[in-house]
Amino acid sequence: MIVRSKAPLRLGLAGGGTDVSPYSDLYGGAILNATISMYAYTTIEPTDDGRVEFLAPDKGLHEVYDNATEVDTDGYFILHKGVYNRIVRQFTHSPLSLRISSFVDAPAGSGLGTSSTLVVSILGAYVEWLKLPLGEYDIARLAYEIEREDLQLAGGKQDQYAATFGGFNYMEFHGDNVIVNPLRVRQRYIDELNHNLLLYYTDTSHVSADIIREQQQNVKNKKTSSIESMHRLKEQAQQMKEALLKGHVGDIGEILNFGWQHKKQMAQSVSNERIDAIYNAAIKAGASGGKISGAGGGGFMFFYCPVLSRFAVREALSHFGGETKRYEFTSEGLKTWTINN
């Protein structure tokens, strides 16, 4: 028997950062994101030798543990180990015997929610294999708890829910309460957005935890400029929702630009000279707006390029050493399946 799963990565279109505590606890957050055709994949092969094997075939990494009720959460496989430990502790109460491997279509630190999406993918494979009675909200919440509570990794709440639910979603955050509102965006508006939104990898990564900690500290210190910027980003999520539902796709560039200008005020490390140069070059070439995906500091950026300006924008960005990526928006979230061999 082979158990497989895949979960989609996401673009954070609006409201990014307002899902992070303590802002979301104090003021409530709002995010609009959409999943794309880039995925985190997991395979579980049940074994009978009492060993737990973690593999990353694309990186040539491999770790093995014998009869483990709990494994130390260090090294490359910290996410895999965090999920394994929670599954044993909460559900099986005894060691498992398996070989588990995974890979992701984007590098870590790319700003597409890779870590959280991988956790959802790994968790989904266990749910499929062990037939655990968990729905979408349960899986997303459990993935969040594993990352933020068990492993103490800094971050927000949106990525786990995006990967689990899939599609275009307007999400609301109030303390521990998360509401996912799937958006019924007409396909022609999605097609137009897909046609005009250029995804660009800066060929750099970021440590999102450092940026998020700075953002959190600004809220704790009641830094007015940071908090006001987060309020504006929450407004941006509402603006983006209305534009998508009403078909005002041409307004999306300006909405993205509005959000980007405020996102940079959340924490000093969100942007840098190179990112600003890339952004300015895209605007000069014809983009009407854009932003960095994720916490900031590096990874993927995307730009709204009206009419046929995407070609001029792509040419302008080619001088920075990164690369544009092809993608499609997706409507499905986490998928799992079993193959009997």
The catalytic residues are 159
Report whether 313 contacts 287 (CB < 8 A).
yes
Report whether 97 contacts 48 (CB < 8 A).
yes
Report whether 229 contacts 261 (CB < 8 A).
no
Q: CB under 8 Å to 43, separation ≥6 — which residues? A: 2, 3, 4, 100, 101, 102, 125
Owner of token pair 């990352």 = 147
- Token code pair at residue 240: 């983006």
How far is residue 118's CA from residue 71's CA, in Å, rounded to a whole number? Answer: 18
How far is residue 122's CA from residue 157's CA, in Å, rounded to a whole number? Answer: 17
Report whether 237 contacts 32 (CB < 8 A).
yes
- Token code pair at residue 148: 């933020």
How far is residue 200's CA from residue 181's CA, in Å, rounded to a whole number? Answer: 28
> DSSP 3-state assignment of 192?
helix
The secondary structure of residue 329, as a DSSP letter, is B
E strands present in 147-278: 168-174, 177-182, 197-201
- Token code pair at residue 88: 């044993």
Owner of token pair 């303390």 = 175
- Token code pair at residue 9: 């990565």
